Amino acid sequence: MNPHLLYDQLEKKWKGLCKQYLPLHHENSIWRQNRLITPEEPDQGWKLHLSATVLSACHLFEKVAPFLSDLGVLFKAPHSMLELKRLNSGLYYGFNQVGKFLTIYPRTDQEAVWLANELHIMTKSFPGPAVPYDIPFIEGSRVHYRYGAFRNMEMEDIDGNLIPALRTPEGQFVPDLRGPGAAVPSWVKNPFQKEPKENLRRPLSPLQTMTLVYEAISQRGKGGVYRALDLSVSPARLCILKEGRKYGETEFDNRDGYWRVKHETEVLQSLAYNSVNVPQVYTTFEEGGNYYLAMEEVEGTNLQSLLDEKLPTEKALNYSIQLAKLLDDIHSAGWVWRDCKPMNVIVTKDHYLRPIDFEGACPVESPDSLEWGTQGYVPPEYGRPFDGKSQLPEDLYALGATMHQLFSGQMPKAPPLEPIEKLNPAIPSLAGEIIAGLLSADPHSRPSAHTVFRRLETITSTSAPNKEDYF
């Protein structure tokens, strides 16, 4: 089914479920509740979180909502499937909110443990992401728990800012932390914890034997990116480790973080086979249902970091030629990049450009119905109903937007962009014409990356500057 049509159907179904089970919606909140909290209920306690993907949420909720309603337990969920998608991305409301589709507020410790067990049985067949920093009721369960505030309790931090708070048994306010190791405060007994079993030594996992992570670069719902040591060779070598989480940021076409990183592995291997200078794939493995890709860490500077101001014309021209050649090579290898932008280009110490990040790439002959790209680098036709046509023009517009940025020093905004000649009168006229062509509102009018590369080369051959001037 078309992902856009499926989204509309699920959104409509969710609105009906909200009307039936979650009648309360506070203004300026993403949450809907089944009822208000009563004065008799505790200020804090064990919160249960049920995780779900956008595809499983309605079915899971249909199963548990009548059960929770009959018990009179307080619970809440996002007011739309779009908000659940945003929650699960970790980008809009924080990484610690990933997976928190349904929040339940048990009235006692005993009820919390009983509910967790019942809900686990009811939902164990449903897919859903892990909830960061919460504790899973059972390994792989959709049910997670943490201790937290039920009401809006706040305290001032050292800077005078109001932050969420908990009250200790002595009546003192302490921060209600949501980070690693904070699910169970030191002064609270964990009623979910079972008697420790005999200490059996577990075999080391691939994540422990094949890599040594030492720095997190980014964390989001679909997975993390880390600097690590690749231990699969001797001596060990530096690498970038990409994690694709099972059910992480599941899209309406059922692709998740696992699929994305595995797909990127295949794209990188295909491009490398066709002599495109992409990061080398070192090794891959699976652990805990997630997919891991260890690849070369390209040494150099992110191109975006060099564009805080307008580059010298010669350097902007050189980078434009290199980028057009890279895009031509990618297209000739049978792929559409779909995320061409300065953030995804590394400038090496020798001033050569190398592309990174191919999770969204698709074959030239098999266009992707799922939207992909970054605002400012996506063309005017972005967001229109998918017509099954080639997405090469998307890359060509992104090339034009990037060249516009190289020569102007300004981040591209929504089209149409201001004519480059107004922002940089020194730009060679042919380069200005090429950029205008790439930014054309008509996808069919945009010149190919090969044509752009060849035409830009004529500028350097006619002006014949010193090679050092490019750098």
pLDDT of residue 4: 79
The rounded percent of the chain whose pLDDT value lies above 90 is 87
Considering only CA atoms, give the Rg of the chain.
26
Strands 353-355 and 345-347: antiparallel
What's the pLDDT tens digit per position in 337-365?
Answer: 999 999 999 999 999 999 999 999 999 99
- The pLDDT tens digits of the residues spanning 317-329 come to 999 999 999 999 9
Evaluate whether 420 touches 427 at the Cβ level (below 8 Å).
yes
445: its two tokens? 């009018």
CA distance 260 to 289: 14
pLDDT, residue 201, reads 65
In this prediction, residue 13 carries a pLDDT of 97
Ranges of each domain in the chain: 3-175, 206-295, 301-470
> Which CA distances in Å does 336 have to 30, 449, 466?
36, 11, 34
- Burial of 225-264, coded b for 16+ CB within 10 Å and e otherwise, reads bbebbbbbeeeeeebbbbbbbbbbbbbbeebbbbbbbbbb
DSSP 8-state code for residue 325:
H
For residue 469, pLDDT over 70 is answered with no
Query: To 10 degrees, the CA torsion angle through 312, 315, 318, 323?
Result: -100
The dihedral through the CA atoms of 117, 119, 125, 128 has a sign that is negative
- DSSP designation for 454: H
pLDDT reading at 467 higher than 50:
no
Global pTM value: 0.90
- What whole-number distance in Å separates Cα of residue 255 and Cα of residue 222? 10
26-83 confidence digits (pLDDT tens): 888 999 999 999 999 999 999 999 999 999 999 999 999 999 999 999 999 999 999 9
Between strands 281-287 and 237-244, the pairing is unpaired
CATH architecture for segment(s) 206-295: 2-Layer Sandwich (3.30)
Residue 462: which residues within 8 A CB-CB, separation 6 or more? none
- Position 385 scores a pLDDT of 80
Confidence band, pLDDT 50/70/90 cuts, at residue 309: confident
At 222-280, the pLDDT tens digits run 999 999 999 989 999 999 999 999 999 999 999 999 999 999 999 999 999 999 999 99
| CATH code of the region 301-470 | 1.10.510.10
Top CATH class of 3-175 equals alpha beta
